[in-house]
A and B are shown apart, each in its own frame.
Chain A
Protein backbone atom coordinates (compact mmCIF):
# COMPACT_ATOMS: atom_id res chain seq x y z
CA UNK A 1 0.00 0.00 0.00
CA UNK A 2 2.81 2.39 0.96
CA UNK A 3 4.77 1.49 -2.17
CA UNK A 4 1.72 2.11 -4.34
CA UNK A 5 1.13 5.47 -2.70
CA UNK A 6 4.79 6.43 -3.16
CA UNK A 7 4.78 5.41 -6.82
CA UNK A 8 1.55 7.36 -7.41
CA UNK A 9 3.01 10.41 -5.70
CA UNK A 10 6.22 10.34 -7.72
CA UNK A 11 4.28 9.77 -10.94
CA UNK A 12 2.00 12.71 -10.29
CA UNK A 13 4.93 14.96 -9.49
CA UNK A 14 6.84 14.03 -12.63
CA UNK A 15 3.69 14.59 -14.73
CA UNK A 16 3.06 17.96 -13.11
CA UNK A 17 6.63 19.14 -13.59
CA UNK A 18 6.71 17.86 -17.17
CA UNK A 19 3.60 19.93 -17.87
CA UNK A 20 5.34 22.84 -16.22
CA UNK A 21 8.31 22.79 -18.49
CA UNK A 22 6.29 22.56 -21.67
CA UNK A 23 7.13 25.77 -23.49
CA UNK A 24 7.77 29.28 -22.34
CA UNK A 25 5.13 31.98 -22.13
CA UNK A 26 7.26 34.39 -24.07
CA UNK A 27 7.64 31.84 -26.86
CA UNK A 28 3.89 31.22 -26.90
CA UNK A 29 3.21 34.92 -27.14
CA UNK A 30 5.82 35.37 -29.86
CA UNK A 31 4.34 32.55 -31.90
CA UNK A 32 0.90 34.05 -31.55
CA UNK A 33 2.24 37.36 -32.76
CA UNK A 34 3.85 35.72 -35.78
CA UNK A 35 0.63 34.01 -36.75
CA UNK A 36 -1.42 37.17 -36.28
CA UNK A 37 0.75 39.95 -37.70
CA UNK A 38 -1.79 42.67 -36.99
CA UNK A 39 -1.11 42.30 -33.25
CA UNK A 40 0.73 45.49 -32.25
CA UNK A 41 2.83 43.96 -29.47
CA UNK A 42 4.33 40.60 -28.54
CA UNK A 43 3.64 40.98 -24.84
CA UNK A 44 0.90 43.24 -23.50
CA UNK A 45 1.39 43.71 -19.75
CA UNK A 46 -1.52 46.16 -19.54
CA UNK A 47 -3.94 43.22 -19.81
CA UNK A 48 -2.49 41.38 -16.78
CA UNK A 49 -3.25 41.66 -13.07
CA UNK A 50 -0.82 43.56 -10.84
CA UNK A 51 0.54 40.38 -9.28
CA UNK A 52 1.36 38.81 -12.64
CA UNK A 53 2.75 42.04 -14.11
CA UNK A 54 5.21 42.34 -11.24
CA UNK A 55 6.24 38.70 -11.65
CA UNK A 56 6.52 39.07 -15.42
CA UNK A 57 8.79 42.11 -15.12
CA UNK A 58 10.87 40.23 -12.54
CA UNK A 59 11.21 37.39 -15.07
CA UNK A 60 12.23 39.84 -17.79
CA UNK A 61 14.98 41.16 -15.51
CA UNK A 62 16.17 37.65 -14.66
CA UNK A 63 16.05 36.16 -18.14
CA UNK A 64 16.40 39.07 -20.56
CA UNK A 65 17.58 36.86 -23.44
CA UNK A 66 14.09 35.32 -23.68
CA UNK A 67 12.57 38.72 -24.42
CA UNK A 68 15.18 40.33 -26.69
CA UNK A 69 13.59 42.17 -29.63
CA UNK A 70 10.02 41.66 -28.43
CA UNK A 71 7.60 44.57 -28.65
CA UNK A 72 6.23 45.12 -25.13
CA UNK A 73 3.48 47.35 -23.80
CA UNK A 74 3.29 48.15 -20.11
CA UNK A 75 1.62 50.49 -17.64
CA UNK A 76 3.63 52.01 -14.82
CA UNK A 77 4.41 55.03 -12.75
CA UNK A 78 6.73 57.53 -14.47
CA UNK A 79 10.14 57.92 -12.86
CA UNK A 80 13.19 60.04 -13.77
CA UNK A 81 16.83 59.95 -12.71
CA UNK A 82 19.84 61.98 -13.82
CA UNK A 83 23.40 60.89 -13.20
CA UNK A 84 25.08 64.15 -12.21
CA UNK A 85 28.54 62.81 -13.07
CA UNK A 86 27.77 61.73 -16.62
CA UNK A 87 24.73 63.99 -17.17
CA UNK A 88 22.98 60.87 -18.47
CA UNK A 89 19.19 60.93 -18.04
CA UNK A 90 17.15 57.81 -17.35
CA UNK A 91 13.37 57.43 -17.71
CA UNK A 92 11.45 54.46 -16.34
CA UNK A 93 8.01 52.98 -15.75
CA UNK A 94 7.78 51.56 -12.24
CA UNK A 95 5.48 48.69 -11.20
CA UNK A 96 4.72 47.94 -7.54
CA UNK A 97 3.82 44.46 -6.29
CA UNK A 98 0.52 43.56 -4.63
CA UNK A 99 1.82 44.29 -1.14
CA UNK A 100 3.19 47.62 -2.39
CA UNK A 101 6.50 46.99 -0.66
CA UNK A 102 8.52 46.00 -3.73
CA UNK A 103 8.82 47.68 -7.10
CA UNK A 104 10.28 46.73 -10.45
CA UNK A 105 11.05 49.33 -13.07
CA UNK A 106 11.85 49.19 -16.76
CA UNK A 107 13.80 51.99 -18.35
CA UNK A 108 12.53 53.30 -21.67
CA UNK A 109 13.95 55.44 -24.47
CA UNK A 110 11.21 57.54 -26.06
CA UNK A 111 11.61 57.63 -29.82
CA UNK A 112 12.13 61.07 -31.34
CA UNK A 113 13.57 64.19 -29.75
CA UNK A 114 12.14 65.02 -26.32
CA UNK A 115 13.39 67.25 -23.53
CA UNK A 116 12.87 66.76 -19.81
CA UNK A 117 10.81 68.10 -18.12
CA UNK A 118 8.95 70.00 -20.87
CA UNK A 119 7.82 67.05 -22.96
CA UNK A 120 7.50 64.45 -20.21
CA UNK A 121 4.65 63.85 -17.73
CA UNK A 122 5.01 64.85 -14.06
CA UNK A 123 6.79 62.33 -11.85
CA UNK A 124 4.60 59.42 -10.64
CA UNK A 125 2.10 59.91 -13.45
CA UNK A 126 0.56 56.65 -14.70
CA UNK A 127 1.98 56.10 -18.17
CA UNK A 128 1.70 53.46 -20.89
CA UNK A 129 4.95 52.59 -22.65
CA UNK A 130 5.23 50.50 -25.81
CA UNK A 131 8.77 49.66 -26.86
CA UNK A 132 11.22 47.02 -28.05
CA UNK A 133 12.98 45.04 -25.32
CA UNK A 134 16.74 45.48 -25.34
CA UNK A 135 19.75 45.28 -23.02
CA UNK A 136 22.88 47.39 -22.62
CA UNK A 137 25.96 47.47 -20.43
CA UNK A 138 27.30 50.21 -18.20
CA UNK A 139 30.58 49.06 -16.69
CA UNK A 140 30.19 45.44 -15.68
CA UNK A 141 26.43 45.65 -15.17
CA UNK A 142 23.76 44.77 -17.68
CA UNK A 143 20.55 46.80 -17.77
CA UNK A 144 17.31 46.31 -19.67
CA UNK A 145 15.30 48.94 -21.46
CA UNK A 146 12.49 49.47 -23.94
CA UNK A 147 13.92 51.27 -26.95
CA UNK A 148 12.12 52.99 -29.82
CA UNK A 149 9.29 53.53 -27.33
CA UNK A 150 5.96 55.27 -27.58
CA UNK A 151 4.77 56.91 -24.39
CA UNK A 152 1.19 57.87 -23.53
CA UNK A 153 -0.53 59.26 -20.45
CA UNK A 154 -3.68 61.04 -19.40
CA UNK A 155 -3.24 64.72 -18.68
Chain B
Protein backbone atom coordinates (compact mmCIF):
# COMPACT_ATOMS: atom_id res chain seq x y z
CA UNK B 1 0.00 0.00 0.00
CA UNK B 2 2.76 2.45 0.98
CA UNK B 3 4.69 1.38 -2.12
CA UNK B 4 1.66 2.12 -4.28
CA UNK B 5 1.24 5.57 -2.74
CA UNK B 6 4.97 6.24 -3.18
CA UNK B 7 4.63 5.27 -6.84
CA UNK B 8 1.77 7.72 -7.34
CA UNK B 9 3.69 10.46 -5.52
CA UNK B 10 6.15 10.50 -8.44
CA UNK B 11 3.49 12.27 -10.48
CA UNK B 12 3.64 16.05 -10.03
CA UNK B 13 -0.13 16.49 -10.41
CA UNK B 14 -0.67 14.07 -7.50
CA UNK B 15 1.69 16.09 -5.29
CA UNK B 16 0.03 19.34 -6.35
CA UNK B 17 -3.40 17.87 -5.58
CA UNK B 18 -2.38 16.73 -2.10
CA UNK B 19 -0.84 20.11 -1.19
CA UNK B 20 -3.66 22.23 -2.58
CA UNK B 21 -6.35 19.87 -1.30
CA UNK B 22 -4.89 19.97 2.20
CA UNK B 23 -4.73 23.76 2.20
CA UNK B 24 -8.30 24.07 0.92
CA UNK B 25 -9.55 21.62 3.55
CA UNK B 26 -7.76 23.62 6.24
CA UNK B 27 -9.33 26.90 5.09
CA UNK B 28 -12.82 25.51 4.77
CA UNK B 29 -12.75 23.94 8.23
CA UNK B 30 -11.60 27.16 9.90
CA UNK B 31 -14.48 29.18 8.53
CA UNK B 32 -16.84 26.22 8.89
CA UNK B 33 -16.97 26.62 12.67
CA UNK B 34 -17.99 30.26 12.36
CA UNK B 35 -20.60 29.52 9.69
CA UNK B 36 -22.17 26.65 11.63
CA UNK B 37 -22.37 28.73 14.80
CA UNK B 38 -23.81 31.71 12.92
CA UNK B 39 -26.46 29.40 11.41
CA UNK B 40 -25.07 29.93 7.91
CA UNK B 41 -24.29 26.28 7.18
CA UNK B 42 -26.09 26.33 3.86
CA UNK B 43 -24.48 29.47 2.50
CA UNK B 44 -21.66 27.38 1.07
CA UNK B 45 -24.14 25.57 -1.11
CA UNK B 46 -25.71 28.81 -2.30
CA UNK B 47 -22.41 30.47 -3.10
CA UNK B 48 -21.09 27.41 -4.89
CA UNK B 49 -24.09 27.59 -7.20
CA UNK B 50 -23.33 31.25 -7.77
CA UNK B 51 -19.78 30.27 -8.66
CA UNK B 52 -21.18 27.68 -11.09
CA UNK B 53 -23.33 30.36 -12.74
CA UNK B 54 -20.37 32.74 -12.92
CA UNK B 55 -18.22 29.99 -14.41
CA UNK B 56 -20.88 29.39 -17.07
CA UNK B 57 -20.91 33.10 -17.96
CA UNK B 58 -17.10 33.12 -18.10
CA UNK B 59 -17.23 30.11 -20.41
CA UNK B 60 -19.83 31.66 -22.68
CA UNK B 61 -17.89 34.94 -22.85
CA UNK B 62 -14.68 32.94 -23.40
CA UNK B 63 -12.91 34.71 -20.57
CA UNK B 64 -9.44 33.26 -20.14
CA UNK B 65 -8.57 32.45 -16.53
CA UNK B 66 -12.19 32.19 -15.44
CA UNK B 67 -11.24 32.41 -11.76
CA UNK B 68 -10.63 36.14 -12.27
CA UNK B 69 -14.33 36.50 -13.13
CA UNK B 70 -15.79 33.81 -10.87
CA UNK B 71 -14.04 35.06 -7.73
CA UNK B 72 -15.35 38.68 -7.79
CA UNK B 73 -18.86 37.51 -8.74
CA UNK B 74 -18.96 35.05 -5.85
CA UNK B 75 -17.51 37.60 -3.43
CA UNK B 76 -20.18 40.10 -4.46
CA UNK B 77 -22.99 37.62 -3.84
CA UNK B 78 -21.45 36.57 -0.53
CA UNK B 79 -21.37 40.18 0.62
CA UNK B 80 -24.98 40.69 -0.45
CA UNK B 81 -26.12 37.53 1.35
CA UNK B 82 -24.23 38.03 4.60
CA UNK B 83 -24.91 41.75 4.88
CA UNK B 84 -28.64 41.50 4.27
CA UNK B 85 -30.15 43.96 6.70
CA UNK B 86 -33.14 43.41 8.93
CA UNK B 87 -35.21 45.64 6.67
CA UNK B 88 -34.53 43.65 3.51
CA UNK B 89 -37.58 42.23 1.77
CA UNK B 90 -35.91 38.85 1.13
CA UNK B 91 -33.77 37.68 4.03
CA UNK B 92 -31.77 34.76 5.38
CA UNK B 93 -32.48 31.29 4.02
CA UNK B 94 -34.91 32.65 1.40
CA UNK B 95 -32.20 34.89 -0.07
CA UNK B 96 -29.70 32.01 -0.08
CA UNK B 97 -32.21 29.68 -1.74
CA UNK B 98 -33.19 32.29 -4.33
CA UNK B 99 -29.64 33.11 -5.37
CA UNK B 100 -28.62 29.45 -5.22
CA UNK B 101 -31.23 27.98 -7.56
CA UNK B 102 -31.32 31.12 -9.71
CA UNK B 103 -27.59 31.00 -10.43
CA UNK B 104 -27.66 27.24 -11.04
CA UNK B 105 -30.56 27.49 -13.48
CA UNK B 106 -29.24 30.51 -15.37
CA UNK B 107 -25.75 28.99 -15.53
CA UNK B 108 -26.99 25.72 -16.99
CA UNK B 109 -29.29 27.56 -19.39
CA UNK B 110 -26.45 29.74 -20.68
CA UNK B 111 -24.19 26.71 -21.08
CA UNK B 112 -26.84 24.94 -23.12
CA UNK B 113 -27.62 27.95 -25.29
CA UNK B 114 -24.15 29.34 -25.94
CA UNK B 115 -21.60 26.72 -24.94
CA UNK B 116 -18.62 26.22 -27.25
CA UNK B 117 -17.60 22.97 -25.53
CA UNK B 118 -17.83 19.65 -27.33
CA UNK B 119 -18.64 17.87 -24.06
CA UNK B 120 -21.26 19.97 -22.28
CA UNK B 121 -22.56 17.26 -19.97
CA UNK B 122 -18.99 16.38 -19.02
CA UNK B 123 -18.16 20.00 -18.21
CA UNK B 124 -21.29 20.39 -16.09
CA UNK B 125 -20.72 17.09 -14.29
CA UNK B 126 -17.09 17.95 -13.59
CA UNK B 127 -18.06 21.34 -12.15
CA UNK B 128 -20.84 19.93 -10.00
CA UNK B 129 -19.03 16.88 -8.63
CA UNK B 130 -15.38 17.90 -8.88
CA UNK B 131 -14.48 14.85 -10.91
CA UNK B 132 -10.68 14.92 -11.14
CA UNK B 133 -10.38 18.72 -11.15
CA UNK B 134 -7.96 18.75 -8.23
CA UNK B 135 -5.69 16.37 -10.16
CA UNK B 136 -5.72 18.46 -13.31
CA UNK B 137 -4.59 21.82 -11.94
CA UNK B 138 -2.10 23.87 -13.91
CA UNK B 139 0.96 25.25 -12.12
CA UNK B 140 -0.59 28.73 -12.16
CA UNK B 141 -3.74 27.39 -10.51
CA UNK B 142 -1.65 25.57 -7.92
CA UNK B 143 0.23 28.72 -6.94
CA UNK B 144 -2.96 30.82 -6.98
CA UNK B 145 -4.83 28.28 -4.81
CA UNK B 146 -1.90 27.95 -2.41
CA UNK B 147 -1.49 31.72 -2.12
CA UNK B 148 -5.17 32.31 -1.48
CA UNK B 149 -5.30 29.47 1.05
CA UNK B 150 -2.36 30.91 2.97
CA UNK B 151 -4.02 34.34 2.90
CA UNK B 152 -7.25 32.87 4.30
CA UNK B 153 -5.45 31.08 7.15
CA UNK B 154 -3.39 34.20 7.89
CA UNK B 155 -6.51 36.36 8.03
CA UNK B 156 -8.19 33.85 10.35
CA UNK B 157 -5.22 33.90 12.73
CA UNK B 158 -4.92 37.69 12.66
CA UNK B 159 -8.62 38.30 13.25
CA UNK B 160 -9.26 35.28 15.47
CA UNK B 161 -10.47 37.30 18.48
CA UNK B 162 -12.77 39.50 16.42
CA UNK B 163 -14.24 36.51 14.58
CA UNK B 164 -14.80 34.80 17.91
CA UNK B 165 -16.69 37.83 19.23
CA UNK B 166 -18.79 38.30 16.10
CA UNK B 167 -19.60 34.60 15.89
CA UNK B 168 -21.21 34.38 19.30
CA UNK B 169 -22.75 37.79 20.02
CA UNK B 170 -22.74 40.59 17.47
CA UNK B 171 -24.43 43.05 19.82
CA UNK B 172 -21.84 42.49 22.54
CA UNK B 173 -19.03 42.70 19.99
CA UNK B 174 -20.44 46.00 18.71
CA UNK B 175 -20.77 47.28 22.28
CA UNK B 176 -17.10 46.66 23.02
CA UNK B 177 -15.98 48.47 19.89
CA UNK B 178 -15.59 45.67 17.36
CA UNK B 179 -16.42 46.74 13.82
CA UNK B 180 -19.03 44.05 13.29
CA UNK B 181 -19.94 45.06 9.73
CA UNK B 182 -16.30 44.98 8.68
CA UNK B 183 -15.91 41.54 10.29
CA UNK B 184 -18.99 40.22 8.51
CA UNK B 185 -17.64 41.63 5.25
CA UNK B 186 -14.35 39.84 5.90
CA UNK B 187 -16.21 36.59 6.59
CA UNK B 188 -18.19 36.99 3.36
CA UNK B 189 -15.10 37.60 1.26
CA UNK B 190 -13.18 34.73 2.84
CA UNK B 191 -16.09 32.33 2.41
CA UNK B 192 -16.41 33.25 -1.25
CA UNK B 193 -12.69 32.66 -1.80
CA UNK B 194 -12.93 29.27 -0.08
CA UNK B 195 -15.96 28.28 -2.15
CA UNK B 196 -14.22 29.07 -5.44
CA UNK B 197 -11.10 27.18 -4.35
CA UNK B 198 -13.06 24.21 -3.01
CA UNK B 199 -14.92 23.78 -6.29
CA UNK B 200 -11.70 22.25 -7.60
CA UNK B 201 -11.56 19.78 -4.74
CA UNK B 202 -15.09 18.47 -4.30
CA UNK B 203 -17.24 20.24 -6.92
CA UNK B 204 -19.94 22.79 -6.30
CA UNK B 205 -22.60 20.37 -5.03
CA UNK B 206 -20.40 18.93 -2.29
CA UNK B 207 -18.72 22.05 -0.92
CA UNK B 208 -21.09 22.39 2.03
CA UNK B 209 -19.95 19.00 3.29
CA UNK B 210 -16.35 20.17 3.33
CA UNK B 211 -17.33 23.21 5.37
CA UNK B 212 -19.77 21.77 7.89
CA UNK B 213 -18.83 18.13 8.59
CA UNK B 214 -15.46 18.76 10.31
CA UNK B 215 -17.01 21.50 12.45
CA UNK B 216 -20.01 19.35 13.38
CA UNK B 217 -17.77 16.37 14.20
CA UNK B 218 -15.55 18.50 16.42
CA UNK B 219 -18.59 19.93 18.22
CA UNK B 220 -19.61 16.44 19.31
CA UNK B 221 -16.53 16.14 21.53
CA UNK B 222 -15.37 19.66 22.29
CA UNK B 223 -17.10 22.72 23.69
CA UNK B 224 -14.71 25.70 23.50
CA UNK B 225 -14.39 27.69 20.28
CA UNK B 226 -10.63 27.18 20.14
CA UNK B 227 -10.80 23.41 20.75
CA UNK B 228 -13.56 22.99 18.16
CA UNK B 229 -11.62 25.07 15.61
CA UNK B 230 -8.36 23.16 16.12
CA UNK B 231 -10.10 19.76 16.08
CA UNK B 232 -12.11 20.76 13.01
CA UNK B 233 -8.97 21.82 11.16
CA UNK B 234 -7.14 18.58 12.02
CA UNK B 235 -10.14 16.44 11.04
CA UNK B 236 -10.70 18.30 7.80
CA UNK B 237 -7.07 17.96 6.70
CA UNK B 238 -6.91 14.27 7.66
CA UNK B 239 -10.23 13.47 5.95
CA UNK B 240 -9.21 15.32 2.78
CA UNK B 241 -5.83 13.56 2.67
CA UNK B 242 -7.42 10.17 3.34
CA UNK B 243 -10.14 10.76 0.76
CA UNK B 244 -7.67 11.89 -1.88
CA UNK B 245 -5.32 8.96 -1.27
CA UNK B 246 -8.19 6.44 -1.36
CA UNK B 247 -9.43 8.05 -4.55
CA UNK B 248 -5.98 8.05 -6.18
CA UNK B 249 -5.21 4.45 -5.24
CA UNK B 250 -8.72 3.04 -5.65
CA UNK B 251 -9.80 5.05 -8.68
CA UNK B 252 -12.91 6.51 -7.04
CA UNK B 253 -14.27 10.07 -7.61
CA UNK B 254 -12.21 12.49 -5.50
CA UNK B 255 -14.95 14.78 -4.16
CA UNK B 256 -17.45 12.17 -3.08
CA UNK B 257 -14.70 10.03 -1.53
CA UNK B 258 -13.56 12.94 0.65
CA UNK B 259 -17.13 13.64 1.72
CA UNK B 260 -17.70 9.93 2.46
CA UNK B 261 -14.67 9.99 4.78
CA UNK B 262 -16.03 13.16 6.44
CA UNK B 263 -19.37 11.40 7.02
CA UNK B 264 -17.65 8.30 8.46
CA UNK B 265 -15.68 10.46 10.89
CA UNK B 266 -18.82 12.31 11.92
CA UNK B 267 -20.61 9.01 12.65
CA UNK B 268 -17.55 7.80 14.60
CA UNK B 269 -17.54 11.01 16.69
CA UNK B 270 -21.26 10.64 17.42
CA UNK B 271 -20.63 7.09 18.67
CA UNK B 272 -17.67 8.24 20.78
CA UNK B 273 -19.83 10.98 22.29
CA UNK B 274 -22.54 8.44 23.20
CA UNK B 275 -19.97 6.12 24.77
CA UNK B 276 -18.44 8.95 26.82
CA UNK B 277 -21.86 9.77 28.29
Contacts and interface: CB of A to CB of B under 8 A. Distances in A.
Contacts of B154: 6, 9-10
B252 interface: yes
Interface residues of B, number: 42
A16 interface: yes
Given A19-B15, A52-B248, A58-B132, A102 B125 contact: yes
A6 B121 CA distance: 42
Contacts of A23: 12
B122 A102 contact: yes
A58 B135 CA distance: 9
The B contact surface, by secondary structure, is helix
A23 B12 CA distance: 8
A136 to B, nearest CB: 19
A68 interface: no
B52 interface: no
A33 to B, nearest CB: 13
A55 B23 contact: no
B135 A51 contact: yes
A49 B249 contact: yes
A54 interface: yes
A25 B12 contact: yes
Q: How large is the interface on A (under 10, 10 to 19, 20 to 34, 35 or more residues)?
A: 20 to 34
Contacts of B121: 101
Given A20-B142, A98-B247, A102-B126, 10 more contacts: A2-B157, A20-B15, A50-B251, A52-B248, A52-B251, A55-B132, A62-B136, A62-B138, A99-B125, A102-B123
25 contacts: A2-B157, A6-B157, A9-B153, A9-B157, A10-B150, A16-B22, A19-B15, A20-B15, A20-B142, A25-B11, A29-B10, A50-B251, A51-B135, A51-B247, A51-B252, A51-B254, A52-B14, A54-B135, A55-B11, A56-B13, A59-B11, A98-B131, A99-B125, A101-B131, A103-B119
Interface of A: 2, 5-6, 9-10, 13, 16-17, 19-21, 23-25, 28-29, 48-52, 54-56, 58-59, 62, 97-99, 101-103
Q: Which 3 A-B pairs have the closest CB atoms?
A: A101-B125, A49-B251, A50-B251
